[in-house]
Amino acid sequence: MTDTIVDVTADTAGAAADSNPTAESPRPNPPAFQGKSTPGAGDDADPPETAEQLRPEAEPKTFSADYVQKLRSENAKLRTEFRDGLAEARADAERAAQEAADRSRHEMAESIGKALGLIEDDKPVDPAELVAQAEQKRQQAQAAAEASAARARAMQVELALYRAAEAAGVDSGALLDSRSFMARVEGLDPGAADFGDRIAEHIVAAVDANPGFKRPAPRTTPARSGGDMSGGNGDPSGQEEYDVNRLRQLRTESREKGRAGGGVTRGMSTPVPPDWVMS
């Protein structure tokens, strides 16, 4: 009964307040909301949980060992094919570079061959044939150079023989015409330091073996009166023997003093450098 009276009184007081708008009465603050919000209760309410969120977490997906092994095999196969393809591409590039270099050398050889007159303009070029022709040309040029050097060396030997023989009173023409003598001296080197000594040794040995290489003594005019009227040739062994002996002496002195020691003497006083040796 008491509860009913309180409620009626409260309702009556609320109605009186609403009927008197001028009355200022403080309104109590609404109590704070606690607990879960009700759907549609207001804009600030939390959204409801979806079915996916309410569903329990799914277990991680697993694969069979055979499937994993298959993937690994395919991956290894792809890596192998990639390496093989890369190696083949590299080999193709090297082969193309080599072919380009061969073509360049072929064209250069063709240009050189045409410039040297080894090949004709309208004739296809065979590199092997071009190399053979170039080698033949080189051998011919080398042979010509060697022959020219041999001729020059022979001329130097002959000139040295001529001067030495004339200085020693030996018939230089007879020596140069002697095949056996020239065969012995043809191997001498005009550039050697002992070339002059070797020439002198061969001349002395030739005169000792064949005195006919000595130059004949000049004829003497008989005196008008008195003396020998036989018109003989005089002593056939005087001047020639003296010159050959002098050549031996010059060779000995040259060996003792050396070629750098200056000239030697002919006779008793006249200095004579060894100019009969061609330097």
Q: What is the pLDDT of residue 267?
A: 35
Query: Regarding predicted confidence, which is higher, 198 or 226?
Result: 198
Query: Regarding predicted confidence, which is higher, 119 or 147?
Result: 147
Q: Burial, 213: exposed, middle or buried (Cβ in 10 Å; 0-12, 13-18, 19+)?
A: buried
Domain ranges of the chain: 66-125, 146-213
∠ CA 105-107-108, nearest 5°, is 65
Q: What does 96-130 look like in DSSP terms, one character per residue?
A: HHHHHHHHHHHHHHHHHHHHHTSS-TTSPP-HHHH
Q: What is the pLDDT of residue 53?
A: 59
Query: Regarding predicted confidence, which is higher, 91 or 63?
Result: 91
Tens of pLDDT, residues 229-247: 444 444 444 444 445 566 6
What the block records as the tokens of 240 is 């020639």
Return the sign of the alpha-carbon dihedral for residues 262, 267, 268, 271: negative
Instruction: Summarize the confidence of residues 218-232 as an average pLDDT.
Output: 54
Contact yes or no for 204/251 (Cβ under 8 A): yes
Share of the chain above pLDDT 70, in %: 52
Say if pTM beats, i.e. exceeds, 0.85: no
pLDDT band at 122, cuts 50/70/90? Answer: low
Instruction: Summarize the confidence of residues 1-15 as an average pLDDT.
Output: 45
pLDDT band at 219, cuts 50/70/90? Answer: low
Out of 71-75, 210-214, 234-238, 255-259, the most confident range is 71-75
The SS3 call for residue 170 is: strand
Q: How far apart are the first and last CA of the chain?
A: 165
b/e sequence 146-183, b meaning 16+ C-beta within 10 Å: eeeeeeebeebbbebbbbbbebbbbbbebbeebeebbe
Q: Burial, 184: exposed, middle or buried (Cβ in 10 Å; 0-12, 13-18, 19+)?
A: middle
**Cα(142)–Cα(275) distance, rounded to whole angstroms?**
32
- Asked whether residue 9 carries a pLDDT value surpassing 80, the answer given is no
Instruction: Summarize the confidence of residues 211-233 as an average pLDDT.
Output: 61
